[in-house]
Amino acid sequence: MWKKKERWTAAALLLAMVVVTGLCWYILYIRQQFYDEGTRNLLETYEQVDKAFTIFSRSNWNMLNEWGKSLQAANEEGLAEERLRSYEAEREIWRYSSVYLFNENCEYWSIRGKHEKVDHLWTAFEEMYRTGKPTVSSYIMRSGERRVVYAAPIAPVEIDGTTYTSLAVSYRNKTIEELIGGSAYGGQSDCYIIHPDGDVMLSEEPKSEIEDWMDNLFDYLQKFAQVDAGTLTRARQDVAEGRSGSLSCWLEGKSYYLVYQPVGFQDLSIVGIVGRDVVDSGMRKIQNATILLLAGLFFCAGIVLVHGVRIDARLRVEEKERALRQEEEARQQMEDLANTDGLTGLYNERYFDALLKENELNRTPFVLFYLDLDRFKPVNDRYGHDVGDQLLKEVASRLRGCVRESDAVFRIGGDEFALIVNGAVTEGFCKSRVEKIKAAIREPYRLKDAEVQVGTSCGCAVYPCDSDDVRAIRILADHRMYEDKQRSGRSCE
């Protein structure tokens, strides 16, 4: 009797040891899984924020490049100051705070006139003058407010006897946050753009315990956060060398995930900081329920079976998710093919009609440019359709260079094209953009050892200034294109 009882006791103790060991292993395992899954999701989230920031930066550099060329032309006529004031007047459209001219002597000119050397502003231009390339940087105003500055070198411009060699626009930190999207994880996250040494270039409004006045992220964490010294050192090295990574830390009694990855230019990195409770909330509920289930099965020998079922269920979910992702990717590819011109790679008329309807529905202002090629048919007749097709591809490539990435270029059919430039525009903008398009198209083309040259007739209409009906806008742009063709005496071929 006693021997049998001892055997049951030993079996119970062994089972208890197995269960306790299994629970401990499970807790450690699931904690690592939480970390891996949470940081992976965070990196994917901030990759989207990174893309938005990159697109916004390129738009600003393109704008500064165009302004620089225009400013140089105005400078030759003695109208540089007047032209710069016109840029200042566009602040409501672009949402920037100020426009600056700057030179290597730390002198700058703004709408308020010429200023002498200002150290806190000069720091935003050092990188540009060192590399000779457009840059983005930031500085702290005397009021303590952070401003983000996009700067680009330009041909020398003289105002009041002083020569300036760079053009820049500045934005309030809050404005950048709104433009690139500061609502990741329901607005419960921090986002920073930092230099390789950890200095903050741009910060969204902090939602964690990190103070607003923090200048260097790694120095702040080292001083105020509970984080493994080796992990923090590795993170410093990763950021300095342009690598991605993650770490976890405690701050004011709260645990956080921190992820970082390179932006893609100027050795900048984007950093996201989110509370673990925010990232893990859904998975934490599953974990607690599972632990309770395992504890309830303390006297059951089916722990291994339960664990196997959980693994199998997870594999099935992953397989289902993988199938759904593949189905979505295939659907997106089919949609892209349906919206794209097979020869030029531009959007086709189907997508053109859809985008016009969408803009009309959303009341989104835009300008529509309609154009077709002049002297295209003689090229096709003389050199054959292969050369004609190659010419259309080259024209498509040049038209892409006439608009921003946020705009759209379409091949409507044959040698007819259209461009949609988003945003409110002036009459002067439309005229200059038409001339830019014509200049780009009439440059000679070298195709299969034959040099050919074509022109274009172009008309435009502005929505909703010219009409609040997109069909009328399309008809008006087409009509103005033919008026342009008749004024120039060109053939429709």
Say if 201 falls within a structural domain. Answer: yes
The pLDDT value recorded for residue 303 is 65
pLDDT confidence bin for 492, thresholds 50/70/90: very low
* Same domain, yes or no: 484 and 460: yes
- Give this prediction's pTM: 0.51
**CA separation, residue 191 to residues 29, 45, 185 (Å):** 29, 11, 11
The pLDDT value recorded for residue 182 is 55
* Between 232 and 328, residue with greater pLDDT: 232
Say if 288 falls within a structural domain. Answer: no
Per DSSP, what are the bridge partners of residue 416? 372, 413
Residue 490 host element (H or E): none
Please report, for the domain that includes residue 449, its CATH number.
Answer: 3.30.70.270
Say if 147 falls within a structural domain. Answer: no
* Same domain, yes or no: 357 and 479: yes
> Cα separation of 190 and 260, whole Å?
12
Say if 100 falls within a structural domain. Answer: no
Say if 155 falls within a structural domain. Answer: no
Is-catalytic flag, 228?
Answer: no
* Same domain, yes or no: 421 and 483: yes
pLDDT mean over 423-452:
90
* Same domain, yes or no: 320 and 362: no
3 state SS for the chain = CHHHHHHHHHHHHHHHHHHHHHHHHHHHHHHHHHHHHHHHHHHHHHHHHHHHHHHHHHHHHHHHHHHHHHHHHHHHCCCHHHHHHHHHCCHHHHCCCEEEEECCCCCEEECCEEECCCHHHHCCCHHHHHHCCCEEEEEECCCCCEEEEEEEEEEEEEECCEEEEEEEEEEEHHHHHHHHCCCHHHHCEEEEEECCCCEEEEECCCCCCCCCCCCEHHHHHHHHCECCHHHHHHHHHHHHCCCCEEEEEEECCEEEEEEEEECCCCCCEEEEEEEHHHHHHHHHHHHHHHHHHHHHCCCCCCHHHHHHHHHHHHHHHHHHHHHHHHHHHHHHHHHHHHCECCCCCCECHHHHHHHHHHHHHHCCCEEEEEEEEECHHHHHHHHCHHHHHHHHHHHHHHHHCCCCCCCEEEEEECCEEEEEEECCCCHHHHHHHHHHHHHHHHCCEEECCEEECCEEEEEEEEECCCCCCHHHHHHHHHHHHHHHHHHHCCCCC
Say if 402 falls within a structural domain. Answer: yes
Say if 19 falls within a structural domain. Answer: no
Say if 49 falls within a structural domain. Answer: no
* Same domain, yes or no: 423 and 326: no
* Same domain, yes or no: 484 and 380: yes
The least confident of 279-283, 312-316, 437-441 is 312-316
Task: Check pLDDT > 60 for residue 302.
Answer: no
* Same domain, yes or no: 357 and 327: no
pLDDT mean over 470-483:
93
Q: How many domains does the chain contain in total?
A: 3
pLDDT mean over 373-393:
89
* Same domain, yes or no: 355 and 481: yes
The pLDDT value recorded for residue 306 is 46
Give me the domain span that covers residue 470. 349-488
Q: How far is CA 467 from the centre of its chain?
A: 32
* Same domain, yes or no: 364 and 259: no
pLDDT mean over 45-56:
85
Of 238, 280, 374, 415, catalytic: 415
Q: Is 173 helix (H, G, I), strand (E, B) or coil?
A: helix
Please report, for the domain that includes residue 234, its CATH number.
Answer: 3.30.450.20
* Same domain, yes or no: 309 and 257: no
* Same domain, yes or no: 266 and 327: no
pLDDT tens, position by position, 306-356: 455 456 556 666 777 776 776 676 576 666 667 898 899 999 999 999 999
* Same domain, yes or no: 327 and 358: no
Handedness of CA 67, 68, 72, 78 (dihedral sign): positive
Residue 444 host element (H or E): none
pLDDT tens, position by position, 75-100: 888 888 888 888 877 777 778 888 88
